[in-house]
Structure 1
């Protein structure tokens, strides 16, 4: 756990230090790119991990997989979640690292480089660290704020579309939508700053983007499922993370209204 924290702190320092610069970009696909800050932050994170655990495998958002394919321990690294935000000089970003040991995430950390907070879990408990002091994460639905990810891909379209969820009358009755466009919002559910988070997506297992946030929310006691309430990484996929059962049930009802009966 301390290694996960140290790794994301190293990445966060790079992200913070390069903020506001005119950064070279590396085009990855249409509408998707990495900046020099993504690459430098990932190098800093990998340096910390490899110095302490040279035999561990790593999957990095920018560098791909390295290390033995048979390694029991795999680090999942997203050095700058919210690259588009960052390139537009918005400070809504996260730096994520999670350790999968066998089938389970056993340690994870998600850093907010600008608030200088690190959300972390040892797999059983979840805390936020500020100025060297740890505070237990306590989910709460009180804010009624729900982050809905509008970024592609959308594997469940046209049945389910995130933008249509925001337009549902029932959604406005229960919640207030937010679109942060970074998985920092997943950590915020664990911290009680968001009531829930919803995203489409089919392949979230071993996701460098979501592994840390999912682990944080599970350890904090959030309700974590796929779009139909099934275990994560199964069925139609997607992700619904809610502070409590009532919030989760309300969101599942709204989501189900979009799907034909034979797809529920």
Structure 2
């Protein structure tokens, strides 16, 4: 295992321990709103600190971007860690056991290492640039589906961008009519990990943040898939509008999405 991936795994497991202990004591979880339909708990903050402490101990000069604590500039700007300590906070708060720790490392602006860890199931998804993707040490690959017939797609509702609801529902309707089924599970990092593992055939969602998708994107790419924005371009990191699947299926998904794109969704 790459030494920096090893540190990411150690950090993810440390955060996972914090999360699992808290999940078993829901009465001690403190919840506050940080925006419209956007929640944070004391557990998010404790898990993020556990990750930062682990990374800083190994690589004190590296930079870190955390969902909860923001930017931690380091002397070495070539190395940037992007972390979401608890992706699926709403599930966690509601007692739904589906959430993950997401940690990615960019080296000179390119995704290099990735970990998505589901602490409830004990599933560790990892990827190193050019080395493939794994689930608990075993190689994973995206499903090479060519058409929507028989496919299962994952998605996320635009709960922070409800002004896009009409466009989203139109896309959902067209895709749902052609697929076997759709899934909305509440954790984008796990959705992308499941695409990488072939558990779902594709994924699309609006308005995601870099910490939601960075690790999952590398997992999908290293598992043989593609990640784009809603037009098939590469602006998803900025726009947060993300589509992931095998190359052929992604093209098909984009074809059904295209008629419903507003100008703001094309950016």
Q: Which residue of 2 aligns with 1:250?
A: 252
Moved more, 190-199 or 17-26: 17-26
Q: Of residues 157, 170, 180 in structure 2, which corresponds to 1:150?
A: 157
Are 1:89 and 2:92 an aligned pair? Answer: no
Q: Of residues 41, 64, 68 in structure 2, which corresponds to 1:35?
A: 41
Q: Number of paired residues?
A: 255
Moved more, 93-102 or 246-255: 246-255
Are 1:140 and 2:147 an aligned pair? Answer: no
User: Are residues 220 and 250 of structure 1, via their aligned partners in 2, closer, same or farther at CA, if it must alter by over 3 Å?
Assistant: same
1:113 CA displacement: 0.8
Are 1:199 and 2:205 an aligned pair? Answer: yes
Are 1:160 and 2:167 an aligned pair? Answer: yes
Quote the Cα distance in structure 2 between the aligned partners of 1:185 and 1:220: 14
Are 1:226 and 2:233 an aligned pair? Answer: no
Quote the Cα distance in structure 2 between the aligned partners of 1:75 and 1:254: 35
Q: Is the 8 A contact 1:156 1:200 kept in 2?
A: no
Quote the Cα distance in structure 2 between the aligned partners of 1:225 and 1:256: 13
* TM-score under structure 2 length normalisation: 0.86
Quote the Cα distance in structure 2 between the aligned partners of 1:236 and 1:112: 26
Q: Which residue of 2 aligns with 1:19?
A: 23
More helix by share: 2
User: Are residues 259 and 62 of structure 1, via their aligned partners in 2, closer, same or farther at CA, if it must alter by over 3 Å?
Assistant: closer
1:100 CA displacement: 1.0
Quote the Cα distance in structure 1 between the aligned partners of 2:243 and 2:31: 32
Q: Of residues 239, 245, 256 in structure 1, which corresponds to 2:242?
A: 239
Quote the Cα distance in structure 2 between the aligned partners of 1:129 and 1:254: 31
1:235 CA displacement: 8.9
* TM-score under structure 1 length normalisation: 0.87
SS in 2 for 1:160: helix
Q: Which residue of 2 aligns with 1:174?
A: 179
Q: Deviations over 1:61-86 (max 9, x none)?
A: 11111123762111111000000001
User: Are residues 64 and 214 of structure 1, via their aligned partners in 2, closer, same or farther at CA, if it must alter by over 3 Å?
Assistant: same
Alpha-carbon RMSD across the aligned residues, in angstroms, is 2.5
Quote the Cα distance in structure 2 between the aligned partners of 1:79 and 1:234: 19
